[in-house]
Amino acid sequence: MQQYKNVFTRLIKFSLSVSWHWFTISIIFTAIAVFASTLIPMFTRYAIDEGIMANNFNIILRYSLYVLLAIIISSLSRIVSAYSGSRFAHGVSHELRIRAFSNTIEQSLDFFDRFTTGQFISRITNDSERISMFLNAMSRFFINDILTVIIASYFMFTMNVMLAIISIVIAIIASYISFRSASMIRPLIDDSRRIVSEITSIASNDLANIKTVKGLALEERELRVYSDRNRDLYTINIRIARMRSIYGSMPFLLIGILATFILFYGSIMIIRGLMSIGELTAFMSYLFMLMFPLTMIGNIFADYQAVIVSARRLFELIDMRPNITINNNISLKSIRGEICFRNVWFGYVKGKYVIKNINLRIEPGEKIVIIGPPGSGKSTLLKLLMRFYEVDEGSITIDGIDIREINIEDLRRNIGYVPQEPYIFNRTIFENIAMDRKWITFDDVIRAAKIAKIHDFIETLPNKYNTIVGERGLNLSGGQRQRIAIARALVGDPKILLLDDPVSNLDAETEKQLVDDLEEVLRGKTAIIATQRISLTKLANRIIVMDNGEIVEEGTHDELIARKGLYYRIYMSFLGEGDRIEER
Ligand SMILES: Nc1ncnc2c1ncn2[C@@H]1O[C@H](COP(=O)(O)OP(=O)(O)O)[C@@H](O)[C@H]1O
Ligand SMILES: [Mg+2]
């Protein structure tokens, strides 16, 4: 419980630091609204006892006006408190989301290997949504309910102590029941939410990979999985509805019975002259006024633990530090482009190495093609050089400086990297190439696009560089996407260029064209190209053959062919493939 308290205190402090003024306004106006509306039964009581019973029209008029005034004040105040309470809650959850998200994307890549995307999305969206709802409830309903209970009880005590005590006891029982039922329903609601997000991810996964699904004829299986989960959701939602309708009406039943008793008992007291009609009316009004707040208080307490869990998870994301250790932060202005891997070992999982004792020295301006079967560690080697991951053993240097000591932004500014599956954002072509790097000018973008041989195509588009591309924009072909990504990597004119399987998803004709054009792209740069395709080796000064995390062969095309090793086998199978293509 202690730790709950700390997270809660932190949540409150955080919330107030983000938006204390909206919170304060909400509290003040909620209080005003409660005061005004709890006065109404008292005004009614005087209107009855001193006005109606005494046949005094002026008093009736006066208290009627008071009631009208109280209603106007409380309604206006509720408008203000509802608005400011929502501003408060949404302001806080907005801030929580931004902080959690911005800290999440700062993490190094191995962090994303450990969690699934779905886990983040649900953390960031659901948890902040729950907190927002709770804060909204807290800043308005909770204060409203507590004050209503206190003030209404006070007036009830002034009128009839014994009836007041009975009412309060029953009321506490009623709120306890609603607390218990809310606590029982809560986990079901969580289950239901979880299933909804599973269903969403099943659907979005299937649709995103629709080619695979259809290619493997998995439609029926996927539909079955989908409908099974949907049935679970249906069942659980029905259970929730059943429990809600049963338990939800219990407090009302209890208080209703109590009200009937008070009506009966109070009437007898009135006949005996121990209570006035106005008092009984007011008493009954307060009793009904208590009903809703009491069930709500129970609900808010039931939410408390879930909110603490959500808050803790979000704070965890906010507190995370990237596990790349920032060392001396040597800044790099311009480099020659010499790269050296020395005894480099690396594993995504501790002890399970996928890069084994790599030693590789690349001279400035040299073009290296790394070739090898899938899973041999080619992409990983490039990622280590980008410092997406930290090496386990050994070191990687650029111009003799250990990359761990280089300021990470400088490092990445000096290396143009084209990942295996470059992502095209749903923005303009210009933005897709410049990528928010403020120092990049329009001319830089055009120059890069020309070298990547995509400029002419862009010029044919109606909005040229301002054409929106990506998921909801213009659909680009594989080759065009690849060229945009190359332009993106080239645009800062980095000395080093890393291309990860640049032709892997292209048809033979596009592949040939791109390989030809890459020659100019690489001019004057140190380049490493990871690939499974023989076609790219013609760009290489030196070919490195990797297998199972190790460098197994090294040399020029002719040297490697003469060795009749792995390279030779890859080459022969490539020729075989070429023959088949020819035959068709
Ligand atoms: N994010 C990751 N988490 C765990 N293992 C990975 C990850 N990425 C790659 N691997 C594993 O590391 C090995 C090398 O992968 P990779 O460098 O992508 O090979 P290549 O690019 O040569 O196909 C493979 O066994 C692969 O399964
Ligand atoms: Mg790869």
Per-residue pLDDT of the chain (584 residues; tens, 9 = 90+): 344 458 888 888 888 888 899 999 999 999 999 999 999 999 999 999 998 888 889 999 999 999 999 999 999 999 999 999 999 999 998 888 888 887 777 666 666 665 666 667 767 787 888 888 888 888 878 888 889 989 999 999 988 888 889 888 888 888 888 888 888 887 888 788 778 877 877 887 778 777 777 777 777 888 888 888 899 999 989 998 888 888 777 877 888 888 899 899 999 999 998 889 999 999 889 988 887 787 777 777 777 877 887 888 888 777 766 555 555 577 777 888 899 999 999 988 777 889 999 999 999 989 999 998 888 999 999 989 988 888 888 999 998 888 888 887 788 888 888 888 778 888 888 888 888 777 888 888 888 888 888 888 998 988 888 888 876 666 788 788 888 888 888 888 888 999 998 887 777 777 888 888 888 888 889 999 999 888 888 888 899 999 999 999 998 888 888 888 888 888 888 776 654 444 33
Distance 374 CA to ligand 2 centre (A): 6
For residue 112, what pLDDT is reported?
64
Kind and range of the H or E element at 63? helix 57-105
Handedness of CA 249, 169, 144, 5 (dihedral sign): negative
- DSSP 8-state secondary structure symbol assigned to residue 51: I
* Residue 584 pLDDT: 33
Write down the pLDDT at residue 514: 80
Does 112 sit in the ligand 1 pocket, CB within 6 Å?
no
Distance CA(531)–CA(30), nearest Å, equals: 66
Q: Which ligand is nearest to the CA of 378?
A: 1
Determine the pLDDT at residue 108.
Answer: 65
* Amino acid (1-letter code) at residue 432: N
Distance between Cα 437 and ligand 1 center (Å): 30
578 lines ligand 1 (CB under 6 A): no
First-to-last C-alpha distance (Å) of the chain: 72
Ligand 1 atom 24: residue of nearest CA: 375
Q: With a 6 A CB cut-off, is 531 part of the ligand 1 pocket? A: no
Burial (Cβ within 10 Å: 0-12, 13-18, ≥19) of residue 351: exposed
Domains within the chain, CATH numbers bracketed = 2-319 (1.20.1560.10), 339-583 (3.40.50.300)
How far apart are the C-alpha atoms of 62 and 74, rounded to whole Å? 18
State the distance from the centre of ligand 2 to the C-alpha of 389, rounded, in angstroms.
15
Q: Which amino acid is at 299?
A: N
Who contacts 12 (Cβ-Cβ below 8 Å, separation ≥6)?
none
Q: How far apart are CA 447 and CA 411, in angstroms?
A: 22
Q: Could you tell me how far CA 322 lies from the centroid of its own chain?
A: 18
Residue in the structure block whose two tokens are 């408060």: 88
- Order of strands, sheet of 415-418, starting from the edge strand that comes earlier in the sequence: 415-418, 496-500, 526-531, 367-371, 542-547, 550-555
Amino acid identity at 534: I
Residue pair 521/490 in contact (Cβ under 8 Å)? The answer is yes
Q: Could you identify the atom of ligand 1 that is nearest to the CA of residue 501?
A: 21
- State which of 354, 386, 544 you would mutate to test the pocket of ligand 1, scoring each by most atoms of that ligand within 8 A of its C-beta: 354
Question: Amino acid identity of 169?
Answer: V
Do strands 496-500 and 415-418 pair parallel, antiparallel, or not at all (unpaired)?
A: parallel
Residue 47 token pair: 């209107």
Q: Ligand 1 center to residue 358 CA distance, Å?
A: 15
Q: Give residues with Cβ within 8 angstroms of 168, minimum separation 6.
A: 153, 156
Pick from 112, 379, 533 the residue to mutate for probing ligand 1's pocket: most ligand atoms within 8 Å of its CB: 379
Contact assessment for residue 526 and residue 365, using Cβ atoms and an 8 Å cutoff: yes
Which tokens is 312 given?
């803790």
d(CA 410, CA 387): 12
Do the strands 355-362 and 339-346 form a parallel or antiparallel pair, or are they unpaired? antiparallel
Half-sphere exposure of 518 (CA within 13 A, CB side): 31
pLDDT at res. 249: 79
Q: Which two tokens stand for residue 209?
A: 């990979």
- Looking at residue 361, its amino acid is R
Q: Is the dihedral of CA 154, 155, 156, 160 positive or negative?
A: positive
Distance CA 71, CA 223 (A): 55
Q: How far apart are CA 298 and CA 179, in angstroms?
A: 4
Ligand 1 test: best mutation among 107, 112, 113, 348, most atoms within 8 Å of CB? 348
In angstroms, what is the C-alpha Rg of the chain? 35
* CA–CA gap between residue 176 and residue 316 (Å, rounded): 32
Please name which ligand lies nearest the alpha carbon of 372.
1
Round to whole Å and give the CA distance between 244 and 237: 10
Q: Tell me the pairing of strands 355-362 and 367-371.
A: unpaired
Distance from C-alpha of 110 to C-alpha of 317, rounded to nearest angstrom = 15
Q: Residue 369: helix, strand or coil by DSSP? A: strand
The residue length of the chain stands at 584
